[in-house]
Chain A
Amino acid sequence: MKEVKLFHGPNHPGMHGNFSVHLTVDGDTVVSARPNPGMLHRGFEKLMERRSWIQNIALIPRICVPEPDINEAVYSMGVEALAGMEIPERAKYIRVIVLEIARIMIHLMSIGGIGGPTGLYTAPNWGIADRDLFLDIFEKLTGHRVYHMYIVPGGVRQDIPADLLKEIEEKLDDLEKRLVEYRELIFDHPILHKRLKGMAPLPKELALDWGITGIGIRSNGFDYDVRKYDPYLVYDKLSFDVPVCDESDAYSRLLLKFREIPQSMRIIRQAIADMPAGKVRIKLPGNALKWKVPKGAVYSRLESSRGEYGYYMVSNGGLTPYRVHVRGASYPQSLYGVEAGLPGTRLEDVAVWLDTMGVCAPEFDR
């Protein structure tokens, strides 16, 4: 039969971010797929080489739009490892609280995002509305809603007020009560069952070949989570479970995100209860803008909502980073995965595939 070339994205309701996939279809079935990144390339790595270690704080949250705090944390952890700094205990707890709120926010957003490819528009209304309540918390804490620039090398910018901690707990209680409704409205909805169950399967062998981490590998029965395997901050002192399921399809991957929300709530509540008093930031030596980080190289990583997020950072003892390489969490599935896994999918399921695999354009097209 005659094959037709189609462009999926960047303007497509099932495509999040400026990314496109060139599809060759035979009838309804995808024969070959080629990722076409580059529309979002902003040259962050080069820009970071021209700015001082502290100036980069304003730049890095922009790398990943929906999940900026992860970038701040992994960058700060890398710089601290290079400089051999140990941050105050309270700052570690505050970072955990911020990162887990960010994780809840991105999961709500991606549960909402499933509305685009499936046509279940209840999901975005609920997900985005609840995310907005957490943006209010960030506005009170940092002064910004989306890009916070709150986690900095040496700790966090400011202490978290006691009444805000209370408000966080109230918001968590409120959301927890409504999680039942999320399940009834979204996850038990016949549209989602019909469109997602058994769709976009990710066999174990493929997942290992692609080097997928995060939800992709946890939906295949591996409990790999950087928070458990290589605990950073205070994750080794907090108790939480890593949700795992055996068979990876679009529905189980979306459900795993939903099942991670209560675990994040559990972590936040423990962190609030255990948080010690004290300083939240140590002073950098000398003038912060002229801070010279000692020579060395480090690969710092942590668990983002889509998998392992890493920064490879090199310092030559100068005022600016010598080299920074951002390893976005969705790099394997978005580039190699699209090429290797998308063929064989039906055209109407391409958007579901891309959505539930967690393709996020800004973090690999940095």
Chain B
Amino acid sequence: MLQKDFIAKIKQEFGLDPAHIKAVAEKKLAVTVDSGEALSFLIYLKNIDFIQLSLITAVDWIDENRFELVYTLVSWEKNLTVSVSTFIPRDNPVIVSVRHIWPTAKYYEWDINEFFGIIFSGHPEMGNPLFLEGWSEKPPMRKDFDPQAYSYERFPSRKYDYKVENKGRVIE
């Protein structure tokens, strides 16, 4: 399916403002939707043959005080890739889980929950460790987490008491 036909289709069927749709490349589209209608848009896409969920990712826009969630979907039949972006506030990062639509989303969402602290409502594993067992700091992929400060605090530089013998001597 051609990109412009597809843009016309979602405009007509879902009633999305075309200003929110951007053609990134020949077979790639980027769509921005409100967090309220994100779920219904994703369900709509699943019903028109976007069977493959490639990736769910989060971006921490700390200056704008919000998180961006990006769902990358692929349709093999239409041969198109769509990135659906939605924004949620940083103070109350809650969004509905899509794991009932794409079962594989379970681990992408769990991953994001662990690294960003975003809560996916309807997901049974929120707060449980997946990659970071025994992690008690703030979620590490947030922009206000400083890994260098953390490692200096956690692993302070130690002084070793040792003597270097034959210092400066060239061993032949």
Contacts and interface: CB of A to CB of B under 8 A. Distances in A.
Whether chain B is bound by chain A comes out as yes
Interface of A: 37-38, 41, 43, 45-47, 50, 81, 208-211, 213, 222, 224, 229-230, 297-299, 301, 308, 310, 312, 314, 322-323, 325, 327, 331-332, 335-336, 339-340, 365
Nearest to B59: A323
Given A210-B104, A230-B81, A308-B54, A41 B72 contact: no
B107 A230 contact: no
B141 A299 contact: no
A323 B28 contact: no
Interface string B39-73: 00000000000011111010110000000001010
Contact of B54 (A43, A210, A301, A339): A301
Contacts of B74: 308
A209 B104 CA distance: 7
Contacts of A325: 55, 57
Interface of B: 24-25, 27-28, 30, 51-55, 57, 59-60, 70, 72, 74, 76, 79, 81, 83, 102-104, 106-108, 129-133, 140-141, 147-148
A213 B24 CA distance: 23
Contact of A43 (B24, B83, B106, B147): B147
Main secondary structure, interface of B, reads mixed
Contacts of B27: 230
Contact of A37 (B52, B104, B131, B141): B131
Main secondary structure, interface of A, reads mixed
Nearest to A226: B74
A335 B133 contact: no
B138 to A, nearest CB: 13
B48 to A, nearest CB: 15
A80 to B, nearest CB: 12
B60 A331 contact: no
Given A213-B52, A230-B81, A299-B72, A81 B106 contact: no
Given A312-B72, A314-B59, A211 B130 contact: no
A334 B74 CA distance: 20
Contacts of B102: 209, 211
A327 B71 CA distance: 12
B54 A336 contact: no
A298 B104 CA distance: 22
10 contacts: A209-B102, A211-B52, A211-B53, A230-B27, A299-B81, A310-B72, A312-B57, A325-B57, A327-B55, A336-B106
Contacts of A208: 51-52
B70 A331 contact: no
